[in-house]
Amino acid sequence: MAEETRTTSAPVGERPAGEQRPGYRGPRPAGGPGGPREGGRKYFRRKKVCKFCVEKIEAINYKDVRLLSQFVAESGKIVPRRLTGVCTPHQRRLSTAIKQARNIALLPFAGRPS
């Protein structure tokens, strides 16, 4: 019996024409994620604006629990800027005011246990 050698037409590192790599699902559909759309965007997300800049609130007081509690989640965490839309300088003042209010027991450190 003679030894058979297998020759491939594809160079090293490339796959033959009919063979696909594992996990390959074919070309992507047109229109990006979510499939093709006609008529433009599905929805329009409005840019979030800083509540303190709009209402021209200069000082963020640690005693104003009603205002501060809007920026604290139910779990007790400070809500991040990307969710509230507060600008950077006001977010810094807001976080220090929340921490001061927690230290004198106006706001809870943790939320209610579920």
pLDDT for res 22: 76
Q: Is residue 89 assigned to a domain?
A: yes
Provide the CATH number for the domain around residue 98: 4.10.640.10
Domains identified in the chain, total number: 1
CA–CA gap between residue 114 and residue 112 (Å, rounded): 6
**Which residues are within 8 A (CB) of 30 and not within 5 positions of it... i.e. 6 or more apart?**
36
pLDDT for res 6: 61
- Residue-by-residue pLDDT tens, the chain, 114 positions: 566 666 555 566 666 666 777 777 777 666 555 555 566 667 777 888 999 999 998 899 999 999 999 999 999 999 999 999 999 999 999 999 999 999 999 999 987 776
Q: Is residue 79 assigned to a domain?
A: yes
